[in-house]
A and B are shown apart, each in its own frame.
Chain A
Amino acid sequence: MQAQNVVVSFKNIQKTYGGVKAVAAISLDIRKGELVCLLGPSGCGKTTTLRMLAGFIDPTGGDISIEGQDVTKLPAYRRDIGIVFQNYALFPHMTVAKNVEYGLVNIGMRKAERRERIQDILRRVELQHLSDRYPRALSGGQQQRVALARALALQPKVLLLDEPFSNLDAQLRVRLREDLHGLIKSLNMTTLFVTHDQEEALTLADRIVVMNQGLVEQIGSPEEVYDAPASRFVAQFIGTCALLEGNIDGSGLFTSNGGLRLPTKANPGPATVVVRPEFVRRADELATLQAHHARVEASDYHGHVSRLQLSIGYDQLLMDARFPVGMKPQRGDTIKIAIDPGGVRVVPNQV
């Protein structure tokens, strides 16, 4: 990675509130045009991190720089960032156009140029026909786009988004997510995005920062955090999985405490293994592998698949599978399954 490509750099950023660590220590570089997502459960410190970058919260320790310039002590209005709030924070006493114009006036842009810029940005978010409306006369989705337009009008170095879809209904959420992704990418906008919704993070982000209790658990591409979780927390927070505790011997064979054996390529020692439900298959689909007899403890129908809770001896597994009509196993049945070794991940045991 080339240093001049880095737009935002957090160096060991911390924030404590009266002794309680909201953010313990975060170091992160965001490259030009990259869409990075802070993902974690509610209260893990995502908003605090975002607001420290915006300049609304003073870090207790560490440095933040934007394009190489240290901004840690710079007030919010001197940082080149744009932000979209969870509730959008549109100025209720100004029309859509005035909201977008607000920042342009503050940087002393001339009127003609302002008008052009407003036109341009409103066209991009498809709101030009609503430019004289007041925010309260807009739908949630439209408000979100105004907020976005207002932030983008200043062409900031970084765009910050704090749970921008949480106030929208499920259908709209997916559509706006795609629109937003297209817009940000077409502008090559460097973006830091906060969410607690793993699906949102997986579909949008170039890189995901998984946070837990003020700490970074893992930084990686969506594929990395899903396929190679760095911790039990990441494995459980992103997607669904079964966790098995056990030991790995010299040949890489994992033996769970319940007795289930799975081949791995990991080093010997105590280990936790992650098995995602889509890698547990019917034995007839993976005939070359060792089959296990599993007892069905529960089954839920999810439409495209059925999710089964299985027990093999003392070990619990989850399985996503399709069954022909009338063939779906019931609670108490015993079925034969095989585990795809490609889906078995070893997670380092926490110290």
Chain B
Amino acid sequence: MSVDLHDRLLSVIGALVRWLVYAMLLLPAIIVVATSLTPGTTLTFPPPGISLRWYIAAWESSLFMNALGLSLKLAALATVCSLVIGLAATFALDRHAFRGRDLIQSFLLSPLLIPTVVLGLGLIQFFVWIGLNQTFAGLLLGHIVITLPYVVRTLTASMVLFDRNLEQAAMSLRATPTTVIRTITIPLLLPGIISAMVFAFVTSFGNVTLSIFLSYEDKITLPVHVLTYVEQNYDPLVAAVSSIVIFVTVLTIFLADRLSGSKPVI
């Protein structure tokens, strides 16, 4: 078969686009990590040398470290809450066929499609009315709302692949419903559950567009801190802090990928 010139050209263009895209996607993170290692006081790339002085500075900055602690706590809580709520809802939707099921499913995914500025305004206004404005609960609730769609979407995908015969087989082997859930359902859904948790965690941890509306006084998340800092001036300190955000994100994804065993997480 002769190779068509057009097809050749097309595959060359395809390869170029792919490499351009991968480079473009990774470049910002690589640049941030690289510049954070500078021994100097300006952000230059490539850095003139390598030192950890800005990481030490970040470690000593109680402002950033408190924000990091808050962000981790917030992300962990939001993940647990939205996993519990989302798992229950997805399970219910998976197990009950009825008219309007798709509608409920779309509703659960809808926070993904609401612009965060609009949601942000809605939430502070509503929180002012019900007295939750400038509270940690308000911040947490907002994060649960925006992480829920990731949980629902990921879990729905993994439940579709789940073979219900396995549960019935277990029941025919004298397993009570709770035993079935404990020994069959949960273990087999685990890769899906882990990836749902990863998505929820990193989404919450990195969120800035909603947090900026709900953060207050000493409850300012790390991304919001970075944002306000960068708006004023930027120096290697904020590069180090940003690198910490990158490490947390990458580490979470990497760990989850290991944890879930042979099945791909994402």
Direct A–B touching, Cβ under 8 Å: yes
Binds B, one of A82-90, A270-278, A311-319: A82-90
Binds B, one of A102-110, A172-180, A194-202: A102-110
CB-defined contacts of A92 to chain B, threshold 8 Å? 166, 188
Are B163 and A106 neighbours in the complex by a CB distance under 8 Å? no
Are A89 and B163 neighbours in the complex by a CB distance under 8 Å? yes
CB-defined contacts of A91 to chain B, threshold 8 Å? 166, 169-170, 184
Is residue B176 within 8 Å, beta carbon to beta carbon, of the partner chain?
Answer: yes
Neighbour of A106 across the interface among B175, B187, B188, CB < 8 A: B175
Is residue B62 within 8 Å, beta carbon to beta carbon, of the partner chain?
Answer: no
Are A81 and B179 neighbours in the complex by a CB distance under 8 Å? no
Closest to B184 in A: A91
**In whole Å, how far is B4's beta carbon from the nearest beta carbon of chain A?**
41
CA of A317 to CA of B168, assembled, Å: 48
B window 234-250: CB within 8 A of A:
none
B window 181-233: CB within 8 A of A:
183-184, 187-188
Is residue A38 within 8 Å, beta carbon to beta carbon, of the partner chain?
Answer: no
Are A93 and B175 neighbours in the complex by a CB distance under 8 Å? no
A window 27-45: CB within 8 A of B:
none
**B interface, by DSSP: helix, strand, loop or mixed?**
helix
Is residue A96 within 8 Å, beta carbon to beta carbon, of the partner chain?
Answer: no
Is residue B173 within 8 Å, beta carbon to beta carbon, of the partner chain?
Answer: yes
**In whole Å, how far is B188's beta carbon from the nearest beta carbon of chain A?**
6
Contact with B along A112-151 (1 / 0, CB 8 A): 0000000000000000000000000000000000000011
Is residue B41 within 8 Å, beta carbon to beta carbon, of the partner chain?
Answer: no
Best-surrounded residue of B168, B173, B176, B179 (most CB of chain A within 10 A): B173
Neighbour of B168 across the interface among A78, A89, A93, A151, CB < 8 A: A89
CA of A51 to CA of B166, assembled, Å: 14
Closest to B172 in A: A83
Are A82 and B188 neighbours in the complex by a CB distance under 8 Å? no
Are A83 and B174 neighbours in the complex by a CB distance under 8 Å? no
CA of A340 to CA of B22, assembled, Å: 80
Best-surrounded residue of A51, A106, A150 (most CB of chain B within 10 A): A106
Closest to B176 in A: A77
CB-defined contacts of B172 to chain A, threshold 8 Å? 54-55, 76-77, 79, 81-83, 151
Closest to A100 in B: B173
Neighbour of B171 across the interface among A76, A87, A90, A93, CB < 8 A: A76
Is residue B165 within 8 Å, beta carbon to beta carbon, of the partner chain?
Answer: yes
CB-defined contacts of B168 to chain A, threshold 8 Å? 51, 54, 56, 76, 83, 85, 89
**In whole Å, how far is A139's beta carbon from the nearest beta carbon of chain B?**
19
CB-defined contacts of B177 to chain A, threshold 8 Å? 75, 77
**In whole Å, how far is A256's beta carbon from the nearest beta carbon of chain B?**
49
Are B166 and A103 neighbours in the complex by a CB distance under 8 Å? no
Are A77 and B163 neighbours in the complex by a CB distance under 8 Å? no
**In whole Å, how far is A216's beta carbon from the nearest beta carbon of chain B?**
25
Are B165 and A75 neighbours in the complex by a CB distance under 8 Å? no
Q: Which 9 A-B pairs have the closest CB atoms?
A: A103-B173, A89-B165, A106-B174, A89-B169, A76-B171, A83-B172, A77-B171, A85-B165, A106-B175
Q: Give 22 pairs: A residue, B residue, CB < 8 Å, sorted on A.
A: A55-B171, A56-B168, A76-B168, A76-B172, A77-B173, A77-B177, A81-B172, A82-B172, A83-B169, A83-B172, A85-B165, A87-B163, A89-B168, A90-B169, A102-B170, A102-B173, A102-B175, A103-B174, A106-B174, A107-B174, A150-B173, A151-B172
Given contact pairs A75-B171, A89-B166, A150-B169, a sample of 4 additional A-B residue pairs in the complex whose CB atoms are under 8 Å apart: A76-B171, A85-B168, A91-B169, A150-B173
